[in-house]
Amino acid sequence: MESLQWPRTERLRPTVRGARATGRQPVRLRVAAAGVVAVAVALGIAGLVARPDAAGTPAVVAPGLAVLAPDVAGRPWLAHRADGRTVWGRAGARERTVLPEGETGLAVAGHWLASGVSTVGTTHVRVRDLDTGAVVLEQDAGFRVAAAALAGDRLLLTGYAAGVARRDAGIVALDVPSGTSHTLVGARPFDARLGASPAMGDFQLSAGGRLAAVNTCGASGCDTVVIDLASLAASTPQVGGTGFLRAVTDDVLVLTDADGGWIKGIDVRTGRTRFTIADAGLMEPAAMADGRVIADVGGGTRGWQVAAFGADGRLSPLTDPARAPGPWVWPGVSSPNVVVLGDVPFEAALAGGAASPNTLIRGADLMQIGTLVVQPGE
């Protein structure tokens, strides 16, 4: 494995679409604080922060990130640089590792990092042990991988078969590290109901670990496949529908249109609409273990705010409305129980060298449990 320490003078360039710094004061959080403490991290190496009293004497020493949010500390993240290279790291650790040139990161979670080297017709898949860097699985997918996700010790893959013909390659699951392959959905031509130029979206996993979902959209509609991760049974609750898949919970598929006009919740079993939030776009959604999604919600006349919503579609605002998005949810380092908010998008924070304050919100009751400062630069 090529393991390169991140050069101290090199910065990760963000590839976040629509992301920009707003240049305004931080938006006031509307959530209550539950024993809030301050934590300093360098993406995010947790240190001890002393809060001086009136006499200047340190009065309170905050615990480290591992104490404040143990399921966030050490959480692996994956990012893509503008030059095409992939880098990964952990929340709570300064070190960043660059994958070999020509190798693209596909998914990271738990103990594993999946990557691939692609040609027009196929992707050669590698899975590494994050602790040792050793390649534990290496095999050809048999198709060009378009999306991947790690669910425990299984790697889900989908993509395009038949080279430039761009047939639907179906969905397979590879056991890690054995490489045993399970076909969940067989390869087939794209259905005509999708219309022209069908393309795969990203896999989404429910925070409860029960379901995965992925959709394929063309000019005329979308199909969304839902996978039961225990049985590996696949179903298609959305057939030729409208809306791009943005998140999945154990109850609903969260879909949006392309113009920020609506957010919909579609029942994962029946495909029926559970809720519609009109005049709203959705950015950076993070699924929580209690079935809610926390995201940047807004646009149009309503303004933008961080809010939570569940299967009923009722919004619970975490911030006051603002004309531009921000603070931003950081799904890549948020856990099923704690969401991390930053003043800029996650990849923009990686690219910058200035400290960026963050807030930790507990998903179950939307209480603020702590603040931290991210210093992405080394």
**Helix and strand numbers, DSSP H then E, in the chain:** 2, 32
Would the CA dihedral through 98, 99, 101, 106 be positive or negative?
negative
Domain boundaries, the chain: 33-72+328-378, 99-187, 190-326
- More confident site: 132 or 55: 132
* Whether the predicted pLDDT of 375 surpasses 80: no
Q: Which residue has the tokens 């690219």?
A: 351
pLDDT for position 25: 40
Strand order in the sheet with 356-362: 38-41, 367-374, 356-362, 338-342, 328-329
CATH code, 99-187: 2.40.10
Residues 151 and 141: beta-carbon distance below 8 Å:
no
Please write the tens of the pLDDT for every residue from 267-288: 999 999 999 999 999 999 999 9
Q: How far is CA 289 from CA 128, 155, 284, 338, in A?
A: 27, 21, 17, 9
For residue 328, which of 314, 347, 352, 355 has the smallest C-alpha distance? Answer: 347
Residues 322 and 303: beta-carbon distance below 8 Å:
yes
Please write the tens of the pLDDT for every residue from 115-145: 999 998 999 999 999 999 999 999 999 999 9
Residues 340 and 362: beta-carbon distance below 8 Å:
no
Strand order in the sheet with 262-267: 244-248, 252-256, 262-267, 273-278
Please write the tens of the pLDDT for every residue from 333-371: 999 999 999 988 888 888 776 656 679 999 999 999 888
Architecture of domain 190-326: 6 Propeller (2.120)
Amino acid at 251: D
Kindly state the percentage of the chain with pLDDT values over 70: 80
Element holding 351 (H helix, E strand)? helix 346-351
Taking residues 49-67, what's their average pLDDT? 47
Taking residues 160-187, what's their average pLDDT? 93
* Whether the predicted pLDDT of 50 surpasses 60: no
Please write the tens of the pLDDT for every residue from 212-253: 999 999 999 999 999 999 999 999 999 999 999 999 999 999
Phi-psi label, residue 45: left if phi above 0, alpha if psi -120 to 50, beta otherwise: beta
Strands (E), 310-364: 316-317, 328-329, 338-342, 356-362
What span, in angstroms and rounded, lies between the C-alpha atoms of 303 and 291? 25
Taking residues 253-270, what's their average pLDDT? 95
